[in-house]
A and B are shown apart, each in its own frame.
Chain A
Amino acid sequence: MKKAKAASIAAIAILLCPVALHAQTPPAKAPAFATGQDDGQWTTPARNFASTRYSELAEINADNVKNLQVAFTFSTGVNRGQEASPLVVGGTMYVLSPYPNILYALDLTKPGAPLKWSYKPKPEAASQGVACCDVVNRGPTFGQGRVFFTTLDDHAVAVDAETGKEAWKVKLGDINLGETMTAAPLVVKDKVIVGISGGEFGVRGWLQALDAATGRSVWKAYSTGPDSDVKIGPNFKPFYDSDKGKDLGVSTWPPDAWKQGGGTTWGFTSYDPDLNLIYYGTGNPGPWNSMQRPGDNKWTAGIFARDADTGEARWFYQTTPHDLFDWDGINESVLVDVEWKGQTRKALVHPDRNGLVYLIDRTSGEVLSASFYHPVNTHHGVDLKTGRLMDDSSKAPVLDKVVRDICPTAPGAKDWSPSSFSHKTGLLYIPHNNLCMDWENSQVSYIAGTPYIGAEARMFPAPGDGHMGELSAWDIVNGKEAWTVNEQFPVWGGTLATAGDLVFYGNMQGWFKAVDARSGALLWQFKADSGIIGQPTTYKGPDGKQYVAILAGVGGWAGAIVAGDLDPRDGTAAMGFVNAMRELKNATTKGGTLYVFRLP
């Protein structure tokens, strides 16, 4: 009887389904704390706590963007990958270079934005040797009259925003353990949240909150190890059973392997001030060779929600349990509110390396949907009952044997390059890859300060016309692409959405583009001196006009072939990316230039 009832309910549900699909689902909205009056500044890389990278400025719009022209330029003096975001606070712009991490302040109130001051943290040159993927930095952040950033040799720095004088500088890691710092901090209330890099060196990841006034550590939460280290306590309530249990950060590893287990934290952190929770991803488990670490490898390759004041974990969701292919979970989590099955849900949207865009309830960690945005043959998506990724064993790595045609690749469907979300269109603009690879596992020993990888890869374009990058506009609620722009090379930089119904992004040949936010139609483009992998920002200048800023300068993992002068004959160079990027040497050269645009 019970069974029959269940069956009839199912039948009704099936009957109702098409109706539900036809009904107009309202698009995703930005949370209230990320909307409202735009002061025309850009004070943190992701623009606001919800990480929407959206500006209400609309002076530059679809009609007049074709007239956009260069207002001024500035050389960072460093010809390496420029992943940082130019910030604007009041009448000053802050630009951070890759190693040696020089912070420049430009005076926007004067013609040509001359240099106001520069601050040189003088990081140890040796740190370049343990930077996995070029010597990049993902930007400074502003708060409480100071500019905060991290240096490649593991320092967090606070600099007075007016004078450029160092307020404090603290050492948080050791390059002899392979630790580096490349991520942008986030200022939450009186704390600065910083993370660590080095997932290719067996670095044990952590996230740390520093006192913004002194740099003193307030809390530190590891990504592996016993619950006390991970800051898992009675308030930790993960949604799925596989994340419940004592000391999973130890028991899901072979003995002591968690000590070199990775789970580094080099992406962007989001914050919900209403829930007082921060959201961030943990990196790949170490080593890449999955056979040396049987188990789920908690708490790597997933998303943590933590209390911003104490750091205590609230929930965790593992996007890729027992990661096989270097699929860090560090990609951005953009906070949105959605109408889901008749209810308003506080959610986060997270395009992961494993090829799925996740829509997750940010109060509980429940996966609402997980939809493909990249060709995938390594798994069949998520079982929504258990929350678990359903692996396809046919593409599982084999020791000392090349497994061919694995999609997506080690950098994943999308690497660090951050998406933006338009409050007007309800679309998420995802810059991403279109790549597949061959992969071979091999035994590796842990030697502190040397790479702990144990795998070789060789990447190439996904089947099709050979394009390796895409900008996709993503319908969050319906879990499908609205439109896509193809690019020859991976879109390795971020995107910016504006109320002028524009999306800005750059490609690795050096074209900086504005496309129509509703159709993807190309409206304007400008050729910079080097490939673009940076984060575009926009602001209202002291003259009241809207400006758009971007750093050009190719590099990062994808651009290492140019930034590091790598040899294209070895396709396994740069952990397999060189095989796909040979043509980049003919398309661009090294650079390091800020470009700022405005209407005439």
Chain B
Amino acid sequence: MRTLAIALVLLSLAACQREERALRGDPMADESREKIALTSLSPGDSGPIEVRTGRGEEYTGNAYHQSEGKKLFKQMNCNGCHANGGGGMGVPLMDDTWIYGGRIENVVQTIREGRPNGMPSFRGKLPDEQIWQLAAYVLSMSRAVPQDVAPSRDDDMHPRPAESRQPAVTGVQGGTVPPSGEAPQ
């Protein structure tokens, strides 16, 4: 009986183990080297050749990383341009349009490299881990991450039910024409 109780306690404690995380991030200069393409078009029937290390899942499936990402989203003034996901000076992040790709590796690349039409480059300004955390939070805004880890998008100004209760949004690759494509140069 006693053994059973101990076993039950141990089992229930094990259930608390939702996720694992590294307590110390990579050094500033380190950079993950995912090999990804910006388009689905590539000569031949194989499509683009990409290498994803699986690091993305460490972040998209991790509540800690995403809540850190949410904190950074405000601390780095990302919300100044992208608001709480609806956009402003920057593009919206909670919709299904991904000009430069909607997988976490794409978003990491966007934050690190910057993009030509106004997205600044944060290479060397943020450690690699924080860039991944931010990217995971960005994906959570369209609920493109497991529901049990996603922090809710800030929508406290609105007198209505929280959006995190609504179904996930499926990203559409390519999205619309970027502004540079619309403007004659």
* Complex interface: chain A residues within 8 A of B74 (CB): 442
Task: Give B85-114 interface residues, CB cut-off 8 Å to A.
Answer: 85-92, 94-95, 97, 114
Nearest chain B CB to A584 CB, angstrom units: 14
Query: Are the CB atoms of B83 and A100 closer together than 8 Å?
Result: no
C-beta contact mask, B146-185 vs A, less than 8 Å → 1, else 0?
A: 0000000111111000010000000000001001101111
Q: Is B80 an interface residue (CB 8 A)?
A: yes
Q: Is A361 an interface residue (CB 8 A)?
A: no
Q: Is B43 an interface residue (CB 8 A)?
A: no
* Complex interface: chain A residues within 8 A of B81 (CB): 129, 450-451
Query: Are the CB atoms of B157 and A564 closer together than 8 Å?
Result: no
- With A128-B117, A444-B77, A453-B80: A569-B184 Cβ-Cβ less than 8 Å: no
Task: Give A425-470 interface residues, CB cut-off 8 Å to B.
Answer: 438, 440, 442, 444-445, 447, 449-453, 456, 458
Q: Is B119 an interface residue (CB 8 A)?
A: yes
Nearest chain B CB to A225 CB, angstrom units: 24
Give the CA-CA distance A486 to B154 in the complex, in Å: 34
Query: Are the CB atoms of A445 and B77 closer together than 8 Å?
Result: yes
Contact partner of B86 (CB less than 8 A), chosen from A133, A445, A578, is A578
Chain B contact residues: helix, strand, loop or mixed: loop
Chain B residue with the shortest CB-CB distance to A78: B183
- With A77-B184, A450-B77: A456-B118 Cβ-Cβ less than 8 Å: no
Query: Are the CB atoms of B95 and A567 closer together than 8 Å?
Result: yes
- With A125-B180, A129-B117: A451-B83 Cβ-Cβ less than 8 Å: no
Give the CA-CA distance A302 to B111 in the complex, in Å: 38
Query: Are the CB atoms of A574 and B117 closer together than 8 Å?
Result: no
Query: Are the CB atoms of A564 and B182 closer together than 8 Å?
Result: no
- With A125-B180, A572-B83, A574-B83: A565-B92 Cβ-Cβ less than 8 Å: yes
Query: Are the CB atoms of A128 and B157 closer together than 8 Å?
Result: no
Most chain A beta-carbon neighbours within 10 Å: one of B74, B84, B86, B94: B86
Most chain B beta-carbon neighbours within 10 Å: one of A128, A569, A575: A569
Chain B residue with the shortest CB-CB distance to A570: B86
- With A125-B180, A450-B80, A565-B97: A438-B157 Cβ-Cβ less than 8 Å: yes
Q: Is A573 an interface residue (CB 8 A)?
A: yes
Q: Is B124 an interface residue (CB 8 A)?
A: no
Query: Are the CB atoms of A566 and B184 closer together than 8 Å?
Result: no
Give the CA-CA distance A497 to B86 in the complex, in Å: 38
Query: Are the CB atoms of B86 and A79 closer together than 8 Å?
Result: no
Query: Are the CB atoms of B86 and A573 closer together than 8 Å?
Result: yes
Query: Are the CB atoms of B80 and A102 closer together than 8 Å?
Result: no
Q: Is B46 an interface residue (CB 8 A)?
A: no
Q: Is A213 an interface residue (CB 8 A)?
A: no
* Complex interface: chain A residues within 8 A of B156 (CB): 402, 440
Q: Is A120 an interface residue (CB 8 A)?
A: yes
Q: Is B3 an interface residue (CB 8 A)?
A: no
C-beta contact mask, A394-405 vs B, less than 8 Å → 1, else 0?
A: 000000001000
Query: Are the CB atoms of A402 and B120 closer together than 8 Å?
Result: no
Query: Are the CB atoms of B117 and A572 closer together than 8 Å?
Result: no
Q: Is B116 an interface residue (CB 8 A)?
A: yes
Contact partner of A567 (CB less than 8 A), chosen from B76, B80, B86, is B86
Contact partner of B158 (CB less than 8 A), chosen from A100, A452, A458, A564, is A458
* Complex interface: chain B residues within 8 A of A126 (CB): 114, 116-118, 120
C-beta contact mask, A552-586 vs B, less than 8 Å → 1, else 0?
A: 00000000100011111111111100100000000
- With A128-B118, A573-B92: A122-B83 Cβ-Cβ less than 8 Å: no
- With A200-B80, A570-B85, A574-B88: A125-B182 Cβ-Cβ less than 8 Å: no
C-beta contact mask, A240-263 vs B, less than 8 Å → 1, else 0?
A: 000000000000000000000000
Give the CA-CA distance A102 to B78 in the complex, in Å: 30
Task: Give A288-323 interface residues, CB cut-off 8 Å to B.
Answer: none
Nearest chain B CB to A441 CB, angstrom units: 12
Give the CA-CA distance A120 to B81 in the complex, in Å: 27
* Complex interface: chain B residues within 8 A of A569 (CB): 86, 94, 163
- With A77-B184, A129-B90, A440-B157: A570-B118 Cβ-Cβ less than 8 Å: no
Query: Are the CB atoms of A566 and B158 closer together than 8 Å?
Result: no
* Complex interface: chain B residues within 8 A of A564 (CB): 87-89, 91
* Complex interface: chain B residues within 8 A of A573 (CB): 83-88, 92
Query: Are the CB atoms of B89 and A451 closer together than 8 Å?
Result: yes
Query: Are the CB atoms of A567 and B116 closer together than 8 Å?
Result: no
Q: Is B75 an interface residue (CB 8 A)?
A: yes
Query: Are the CB atoms of A456 and B184 closer together than 8 Å?
Result: no
Give the CA-CA distance A386 to B97 in the complex, in Å: 53
* Complex interface: chain A residues within 8 A of B182 (CB): 78-79
Query: Are the CB atoms of A128 and B80 closer together than 8 Å?
Result: no
Give the CA-CA distance A79 to B76 in the complex, in Å: 30
Q: Is A222 an interface residue (CB 8 A)?
A: no
Chain B residue with the shortest CB-CB distance to A126: B118
Contact partner of A570 (CB less than 8 A), chosen from B75, B155, B185, is B155
Q: Is A413 an interface residue (CB 8 A)?
A: no
Q: Is A99 an interface residue (CB 8 A)?
A: yes
Chain B residue with the shortest CB-CB distance to A446: B77
* Complex interface: chain A residues within 8 A of B180 (CB): 125
Nearest chain A CB to B110 CB, angstrom units: 12
Give the CA-CA distance A125 to B89 in the complex, in Å: 13
Nearest chain B CB to A482 CB, angstrom units: 36
Give the CA-CA distance A497 to B37 in the complex, in Å: 55
Query: Are the CB atoms of B89 and A130 closer together than 8 Å?
Result: yes
Query: Are the CB atoms of B184 and A100 closer together than 8 Å?
Result: yes
Q: Is A131 an interface residue (CB 8 A)?
A: yes
Contact partner of B91 (CB less than 8 A), chosen from A447, A565, A571, is A565
Q: Is A407 an interface residue (CB 8 A)?
A: no
Q: Is A132 an interface residue (CB 8 A)?
A: yes
Nearest chain A CB to B77 CB, angstrom units: 4
Query: Are the CB atoms of A571 and B92 closer together than 8 Å?
Result: no
Give the CA-CA distance A543 to B112 in the complex, in Å: 58
Give the CA-CA distance A127 to B183 in the complex, in Å: 14
Query: Are the CB atoms of B86 and A450 closer together than 8 Å?
Result: no
Chain B residue with the shortest CB-CB distance to A120: B185
* Complex interface: chain B residues within 8 A of A127 (CB): 118
Give the CA-CA distance A99 to B184 in the complex, in Å: 10
Nearest chain B CB to A281 CB, angstrom units: 22
Give the CA-CA distance A575 to B119 in the complex, in Å: 18
**What are 6 residue pairs bridging A and B, where the CB atoms are less than 8 Å apart in the complex?**
A402-B157, A453-B77, A571-B86, A572-B86, A572-B154, A575-B88
Besides the known contacts A440-B156, A444-B77, 17 further A-B residue pairs in the complex with CB atoms under 8 A apart: A100-B183, A126-B116, A129-B119, A129-B120, A200-B80, A200-B89, A449-B120, A450-B76, A450-B81, A453-B77, A456-B157, A566-B86, A567-B86, A570-B84, A570-B85, A570-B155, A573-B86
Q: Which residues of B contact A (CB under 8 A)?
A: 74-81, 83-92, 94-95, 97, 114, 116-120, 153-158, 163, 176, 179-180, 182-185
Q: Which 5 A-B pairs have the closest CB atoms?
A: A451-B80, A129-B118, A570-B86, A573-B86, A567-B92
